[in-house]
Amino acid sequence: MITISLDAMGGDFGPTVAIPGAARALERHPDIRFAIYGIEAECLPILNKYPALKAKSDFHPAEVAISMEEKPSQALRRGRYKSSMWKAIEAVKLKEADVAVSAGNTGALMAMALFCLRTMANIERPALAGIWPTLKGESIVLDVGATIGADAQQLVDFALMGGAMARALFELKRPTVGLLNVGTEEVKGQEEVKEAGRILRESNFESIQYLGFVEGDDLGKGTVDVVVSEGFTGNIALKAAEGTARQLATYLRMAMSRTLLAKIGYLFAKSAFDMLRDKMDPRKVNGAVFLGLNGIVIKSHGGTDAEGFAAAVEVGYDMARNKLNEKIEHDLKNFHSRRLPAKVDADDDGV
């Protein structure tokens, strides 16, 4: 049994999406149990409409709902210990839940998760990892906006954490990893990226296979299983891809409705367009993971519907079932224990 704690008040639509989404996830995964946190008067009338979900849930009232506009510092002051977001995260800390899921304010969720759960040993910054649709299937991209900027060591840690997520989600033995850069040549890019590439090449990890630098067009190709970037660049890439997908969908709708002949052609090609729509559906890849914390927290898109929220719940389910954090801790421990003797030797030589 996997227990998932839900911030039912998060996102643009709160419990009207979170609770039906949880019900859909439960239909597909009967071994889930939910701990639902929210404003009682808003949540219980909706929960009562889903008797199967209610039977597999424990509802916990919260006093505060964090809005999508609140600054992280304000959300912490107002919602610490009292909000549905904090309580859902705290359930993970107290081992009452295996994973927390929220569609709420990203900055507030990051701040509360970091404050409540803290980072793992040897991790300076957590990363937000997203699932990216590609021509080959799916890949993982991180960081997509948890923190701005990263040094070489942090990028290497991101690579290890992303690799662990790929092993947990895609069940790969040794996922391939690339560093997002302005070119594939080793002489190109910022010094932090080039140094991270050197460390990854020389370390010869057992858990990941480093393939070098990748460019922006490799994201959609699926050149590697894990694409590593710092948060500023990663977030811009994410938003650009989402905008391009919406732009293409709009172009197609306009083209198919322009003339009678186009409408007839659409009827003949409907199955192909349905497949394309399914591939481009952002709900299918909803659910980003905060990596590097002492607990698993999933961020759902704030504007998603019930099906999209169910997808985020299912990402959390897979991460918990496949023991994501145990894989991350194992890989980080191996890497940092191998680097420690070299550091000690260097210090000894300087004495």
3-class SS of residue 247: helix
H-run or E-run covering 212: strand 209-214
Q: How many CA atoms lie within 13 A of 264 on its CB side?
A: 3
Amino acid at 330: H
CB 103 within 8 A of CB 301: yes
Phi/psi zone of residue 210: left (φ > 0), alpha (ψ -120 to 50 degrees), beta?
Answer: beta
Q: Beta strands 127-134 and 137-142: pairing type?
A: antiparallel
Nearest to 116 by CA among 85, 144, 142: 85
Angle at 337 between CA 333 and CA 340, to 5 degrees: 140
The torsion defined by the Cα of 28, 31, 36 and 42, in degrees rounded to 10, comes to: 40
Instruction: Quickly tell me which residue has 């890949």 as its tokens.
Output: 139
User: Distance between CA 175 and CA 142 in Å, rounded?
Assistant: 14
Nearest to 255 by CA among 284, 240, 276, 239: 276
Q: What is the pLDDT of residue 265?
A: 74
Q: At what angle do helices 40-47 and 15-28 cross, to 10 degrees?
A: 40
pTM: 0.83
Query: Which domains are seen in the chain, by residue range?
Result: 1-123+292-351 (3.40.718.10), 129-283 (3.40.718.10)
For the chain, residues with pLDDT lower than 70 are 266, 268, 270, 272-284, 338-351
CB 179 within 8 A of CB 212: yes
Q: What is the pLDDT of residue 137?
A: 83
